[in-house]
Amino acid sequence: IAPPEPHGPRWFRITARGTKGTGEQVESVDSLAVTLVSRALLELQAFINEPEGARDNTLSVGQAFTIRANLNNLGTAKTLDTARVRLELGQTQISVLDTLEKPIEVNGFVEWKARAPDSPAEGNITVRLIQRALDENTGLEAAIVSEISRFFVRTDSTGNLIVGRPEVTGPLGATDNILSSGQEFTVRTEIQWQGLRQVSAELLLPLGFFTEEARRNFAGPENRATPSWIVRAPEDSSVSLQEIRVRVEGKDANNDSLSFNVVSDPLEVQVVSKALLRLSAAITAPAAATDGIVSVNQQFEITGFVVNVGSAQVIGEDQIRLVLPEGYSTSDSLVKRTVNNQVSWRIKAKSTPSSGIETIKLILQKRPVDENTGREADVDVGEFAISIQTEPRLLLVWQQEARPAGPTASGEQSLPMMSLVLENLGSENSSAILLQALSFNVTEAGGQPISPADAIQRVQILSRNHQNRVLGELTEIPAANPMLVTLAQKDSILASVPDTIDVMVDLRNQVQVNSLQLGFTSSEAINAIDADSHERVQVVDKSGATGEQFVLQSETSVITESDYNNFYNYPNPFQPGQWPDAGTRFWYYLPSNSKVEFKILTLLGDLVYQKTFEANTPQGQAGGRIPGFNDIFWDGRNGDGKVVLNGVYIAILKTNAGVVTTKVAVTR
């Protein structure tokens, strides 16, 4: 019997003795080395091998898994033949597709493909060694540590995963899910799970949206997470409605083959173009100043406009600062906030003309915030310049045409004394000039002052541009100069549109003087103001003269008695053909309307020229003659249009009042 403890080789000596037939004693000796090893000792181990998540003996309902049994020889002696094992499932309600009994090699393993029950359960799984292998040395069944291996198994429900709808949590203005293009905002969601491992969440963004780290991994025992991401919206807002989702993945804690992939309900966001402020400004009043040219000391209005050209709304107020060139002033605050996106300043131009173009600046000093980003709105144009130039206001006054000199009669009505052309020398769009009054000096020929009341009964100022509308009238004629005529209707003189006014005089029936002349001895006699600034404008003549250098006189009217026999011509003698309008004018007086026959005869009685005027023509109207209007003009030509010879001719006037004659001298 071998000893209980293994040992190394031991030698056994074997001696054989015997006697030969001859009676001789013989002996034979041999040695045998015997090594003592530990006997074969079988150990059985059973466990769940796959999947990895089930190795803690916790299963999910319905999951597939693998049971493995290992049979190891802990001894040194080898074994012969194979062993057999049997799987016992007890109360676990687990099912297997294989046979429960299986052969197993020593130092090998055997597996069963199993499936967990469809409902939670628990119990012991036992693997029993029902046939042992033989110890090769003893030929007997090998020794065993234990003939069974048992472990406890629990089947639970599968893991579950709940993913909340993501939401925008900041900034506050974006929580209504309306975003400004290019803005940053925060997206957050809530995740809950049970029985899962390797849980991760990924933010699924539409094209153009960006976040630094879209995927988040969660570790630890917690079954809840609230991940958040900082996201930047796209600069392009052409596609306004977008969907943001969160995808959460995980594996069943017990069943590696069971994966979870849940995508949240969408967060719908609308991307609008970000608030973008554009500052502009203009001269808005008066209309004549909108071209940037104003009169000295003129008051004008500048309006600044702040327009949000983006779709995102703005919150809060903005402020604009006004920067004026030297000499310009305003009584308003230089910094003002807009009302309904605009703000205005009343500005007074400087008192001297500009030497060049100057600049008024408006600067957007304070910005409102974008309602979505909660930050100051971006600026497209934050500074705006308005060109401004101050010009002197000049009114050019000149006499359009000299009234042909000649006589007129006492009591004459609507005698044209002067035709004045008024020109506003401002730029094309500058403000109008208003003519307010005219102050005349009344003299005789030669400039001797006379009492206006001795010759004049009424003065009227008529606007030729407005169909001879009466602008002003004076009936209470002063006894001494000057004679001031105030215009009840101011004459508005537009730039680049010359205006013409006629000064008409009614003579007294008994004129105390022999001639009459009207005039201005200074530019101050013409009272005109700027329509916008109401400042007095400077009056100049064609030479640029102003002040006391400005002198404008009417032609002299010679005053005669109202007598039909008073028939004469002026000039006399005259020189025909000297200039296109060269000729002579005939003056006469008609007690009543009459047909007029006019003839030119030689001293021998030959007819040179004749013309007839009906009673309803100006030449047939009762009263005296107004040169250039209702007198008779002869240019010194005969009926064939040829200039007559030098000499004296007879002029004959035949009316219902009789026949009168006068001599006409022609020189060449």
DSSP 285-301: ESGGGTTSEEETT-EEE
| pLDDT tops 90 at residue 282 | yes
Confidence label for 427 from pLDDT (cuts 50, 70 and 90): confident
Measured distance CA(129)–CA(87) in Å, rounded = 9
Q: Which of 292, 529, 515 is nearest to 432 (CA)?
A: 529
pLDDT of residue 239: 65
pLDDT per position as a tens digit, 48-87: 998 888 888 988 888 899 999 999 999 888 998 899 999 9
CATH of domain 276-391: 2.60.40.3880
Q: Which fold has domain 394-559?
A: Immunoglobulin-like (2.60.40)
| pLDDT tops 60 at residue 404 | no
* Six token digits for residue 484: 């001031």
Bridge partners (DSSP) listed for residue 486: 437
Buried b or exposed e, range 287-316, using 16+ CB within 10 angstroms: ebbeebbbbbbbbbebbbbbebebbbbbee
| pLDDT tops 60 at residue 598 | yes
| pLDDT tops 90 at residue 561 | no
Measured distance CA(440)–CA(450) in Å, rounded = 12
| pLDDT tops 80 at residue 408 | no
Confidence label for 17 from pLDDT (cuts 50, 70 and 90): confident
Measured distance CA(260)–CA(251) in Å, rounded = 6
pLDDT per position as a tens digit, 372-382: 999 999 999 99
Measured distance CA(467)–CA(490) in Å, rounded = 15
Quickly count helices (H) and strands (E) in the chain.
1, 59
Measured distance CA(52)–CA(63) in Å, rounded = 13
Determine the average pLDDT of the residues in 588-603.
90
Measured distance CA(403)–CA(420) in Å, rounded = 11
Q: Which of 276, 311, 267, 308 is nearest to 176 (CA)?
A: 267
Determine the average pLDDT of the residues in 263-275.
93
pLDDT of residue 406: 57
Lowest-confidence pick of 12-26, 274-288, 596-610: 12-26
Q: Do 160-272 and 41-156 fall under one CATH topology?
A: yes
Pair 156, 171: CB distance under 8 Å: no
Measured distance CA(58)–CA(578) in Å, rounded = 135
pLDDT of residue 16: 86
Determine the average pLDDT of the residues in 439-468.
91
Determine the average pLDDT of the residues in 332-339.
94
| pLDDT tops 70 at residue 580 | no
* Six token digits for residue 392: 């002197």
Q: Tell me the CA distances in angstroms from 352 to 20, 110, 186, one per residue in order.
A: 167, 113, 60
Q: Which residues contact 246 (CB under 8 A, 6 or more apart)?
A: 163, 166, 189, 191, 201, 202, 203, 204, 227, 263, 264
- Which amino acid is present at 495? A
Q: Which of 587, 586, 596, 652 is nearest to 620 (CA)?
A: 596
Give residue for tokens 């010759």.
455
Measured distance CA(149)–CA(70) in Å, rounded = 10
Instruction: Supply the pTM of this predicted model.
Output: 0.55
Q: Which fold has domain 563-666?
A: Immunoglobulin-like (2.60.40)
Q: Break the chain into its structural domains and give their ranges.
A: 7-35, 41-156, 160-272, 276-391, 394-559, 563-666
Confidence label for 407 from pLDDT (cuts 50, 70 and 90): low
pLDDT of residue 409: 72
Pair 599, 607: CB distance under 8 Å: yes
pLDDT of residue 359: 96
Residue with the bigger pLDDT between 138 and 184: it is 184
What architecture does CATH give domain 160-272?
Answer: Sandwich (2.60)
Confidence label for 578 from pLDDT (cuts 50, 70 and 90): low
Lowest-confidence pick of 98-112, 295-309, 388-402, 554-568: 554-568
Sheet strands (E) in 318-382: 319-323, 329-330, 335-337, 342-348, 358-366, 369-370, 378-381
pLDDT per position as a tens digit, 188-224: 999 999 888 889 999 999 999 999 999 999 976 678 9
DSSP per residue, 302-329:
EEEEEEE-SSS-EES--EEEEEPPTT-E
Measured distance CA(347)–CA(131) in Å, rounded = 116
Lowest-confidence pick of 129-133, 254-258, 485-489: 254-258
pLDDT of residue 563: 59
Confidence label for 562 from pLDDT (cuts 50, 70 and 90): low
pLDDT of residue 479: 94
Please give the DSSP secondary-structure letter assigned to residue 532: T
Pair 416, 502: CB distance under 8 Å: yes
Indicate if the alpha-carbon torsion angle 116, 119, 120, 123 is positive or negative.
Answer: negative
Query: Quick one: what percent of the chain has pLDDT higher than 70?
Result: 96
* Six token digits for residue 469: 């509308």
| pLDDT tops 80 at residue 168 | yes
Confidence label for 158 from pLDDT (cuts 50, 70 and 90): confident
Determine the average pLDDT of the residues in 508-521.
86
Confidence label for 402 from pLDDT (cuts 50, 70 and 90): low
Strand duo 538-540 + 394-399: pairing: parallel
| pLDDT tops 90 at residue 446 | no
Q: Which of 414, 436, 405 is nearest to 584 (CA)?
A: 405
Neighbours of 388 (CB within 10 A): 23
Lowest-confidence pick of 197-206, 247-256, 442-451, 564-573: 564-573
Q: How far apart are the first and last CA of the chain?
A: 186
| pLDDT tops 80 at residue 35 | no
Q: Which residues contact 580 (CB under 8 A, 6 or more apart)?
A: none
pLDDT of residue 491: 87
pLDDT per position as a tens digit, 89-134: 999 999 998 899 999 999 999 999 999 998 889 999 999 999 999 9
Query: Quick one: what percent of the chain has pLDDT higher than 90?
Result: 60
DSSP per residue, 218-285:
E-SS-SEE--EEEEE--S--SS-EEEEEEEEEEEESS-TT-EEEEEPPPEEEEEEPPPEEEEEEEEEE
Q: Which fold has domain 41-156?
A: Immunoglobulin-like (2.60.40)
